[in-house]
Amino acid sequence: MQREQYGTLVSLAGVLCNLVLFAAKLAIGLAANSAAVLSDAFNNLTDTGSSLALAVGFYMAGKAPDERHPFGHGRIEYIAELIVSFLIMATGFGVGKFALERFLEPQPVKLNSFVICGLGCSVLAKLIMSLFYRRANKILQSTAIQAGIIDSISDAAITGVTLLSFAVAEYTEFPVDAAIGLAVAVAIFCAGIKSAKNAIDPILGKMKDARIEQQIREIVLAIEGIEGMHGLAVHDYGPSRKYASAHIEIVPSMQFSEVHAAMEQAVDSVRQNLNMDIVLFPEPLDSDSNLPKVF
C-alpha cells in the first residue's frame, strides 16, 4: 500500500473516532449542562474536520505527476493542514465566546454516573487514538499525524481536568466549569496557530529537518573521487517528495567515465538511504588553490 493510501485510511479512521466522541460528549454536555464538556465536544468536532481535510490531502497528494505538476502533488498535504489550522482557530474563538458567556452568567452543572462514566471512556478512547496515530506515523512520517498524536493526548488531559473540575466545583462558588471551558478554547486556538506555522514553513521553503543536509553531505563525500561539496539545496515538494541539488568537487585527474560513475554512485546512495533524488554538478578542484573551477 502506498504512503498516501495508508495516510487516507488513517485519517478516515480519525474522522470516525472523533465523530463518535463529538456525539457522545455533546450528549454528556447537554445532560450535565456543562460548558467545559460542550467546549470539549466541539473540540472533537474540529478534530473530525481536521481528519477529513487530511484524508482529502493524502488522497490528492497521491496523484501521479503530470505535465503541469512534474514534481507531483505532495504539497497539497501542507495546504490541507493550513486549512485545518484556520478551522481550529475559528472553533477556538467560538468555544471561547460560549464559555465566556457562561463565566459571566454561571449555570449549575448536573452530575450523574452517566456523565462521569462517559467522560472516563472518552479519556481512554483518546489515549488509544494517540497510540494508533503513533504507530501509523512510523510509516507516514507526517507532521500532520504527529500533530494528531499531540492533540489526542491533549484532549485526554483536557477531559481529565474537566472531570476534576466537577469535584472542585462542589466546594466553591467560582464558575470552575466555565473557566475550564475558557482554558479549552485558548488551548484550541493556540493549537490552530501552531498548526498554521507548521504548514506555512514548508510552503515558504523552510527546511524542517536540517539533519537532511548533513546526511546528504556525509553520503556524497564518502564516494571515492568526490573531494568537496557546495551550493547544496533541498527542495520540499511534499513529505515524501524531496529533491536536492549540489555542486561537487572532483579530483582533476579523473576521466569523464570515472566522474560519471562516481556521480551515479552518489545519486544511488542518496536515493537508497534518504528516499530522495539529487542532481549533482561536477567541478574540478584546482590542486594549487583548493578552489573549485567550473568545467
Residue with cell 462514566: 117
Name which residue leads in pLDDT, 140 or 272: 272
Closest CA to 144 of 182, 186, 88, 103: 88
Q: Which residues pair with 226 in a beta bridge?
A: 250
Q: Please name the amino acid found at residue 88.
A: I
Name which residue leads in pLDDT, 14 or 204: 14
Of 79-88, 256-265, 282-291, the one with minimum mean pLDDT is 282-291
Query: Does the pTM exceed 0.75?
Result: no
Average pLDDT over residues 163-176: 81
Contact present, 269 and 277 (Cβ < 8 Å): no
Give residue 273's pLDDT band: very low, low, confident or very high (50, 70, 90): very high
Domain 3-204 has CATH 1.10.1060.10: no
20-78 pLDDT tens trace: 999 999 999 998 888 888 888 988 888 888 888 888 888 887 788 888 888 888 888 78
Would you state the pLDDT for residue 261?
Answer: 94
Average pLDDT, the chain: 85
Residue 290 has pLDDT above 80, yes or no: no
201 contact partners, CB below 8 Å, separation of at least 6: 208
Q: Give the whole-angstrom CA distance, residue 168 versus residue 191.
A: 27
Cell digits for 70? Answer: 512534474
Would you state the pLDDT for residue 207?
Answer: 63
Same fold, 3-204 and 211-284: no
Q: By three-state DSSP, how is residue 175 classified? A: coil
Q: Give the whole-angstrom CA distance, residue 57 versus residue 240.
A: 13
Would you state the pLDDT for residue 11?
Answer: 92
Determine what percent of the chain falls in helix, strand and coil, rounding each to the nearest 5: 70, 10, 20
The arrangement of strands across the sheet holding 226-236 comes to: 226-236, 242-250, 277-284
181-211 pLDDT tens trace: 888 888 888 888 888 888 888 888 776 567 8
Residue 216 has pLDDT above 70, yes or no: yes
Q: What is the largest CA-CA distance in the chain?
A: 86
Would you state the pLDDT for residue 13?
Answer: 95
Q: Where are the domains of the chain?
A: 3-204, 211-284
Name which residue leads in pLDDT, 241 or 248: 248
Would you state the pLDDT for residue 132?
Answer: 95
Residue 289 has pLDDT above 50, yes or no: no
4-35: buried (b, 16+ CB within 10 Å) or exposed (e) per residue?
A: beebbebbbbbbebbbebbebbbebbeebbbb
Would you state the pLDDT for residue 217?
Answer: 93
Q: By three-state DSSP, how is residue 62 classified? A: coil
Architecture of domain 211-284: 2-Layer Sandwich (3.30)
Would you state the pLDDT for residue 293?
Answer: 43
Q: Give the whole-angstrom CA distance, residue 268 versus residue 275.
A: 10
What is the 8-class DSSP label of residue 93?
H
Say what the alpha-carbon torsion angle 185, 191, 193, 195 is, to the nearest 10 degrees.
-150
Average pLDDT over residues 283-287: 72
Q: How far is CA 2 from CA 8, 67, 75, in A?
A: 10, 22, 17
72-128 pLDDT tens trace: 888 887 887 788 788 778 878 887 888 888 888 887 888 788 888 999 999 999 999
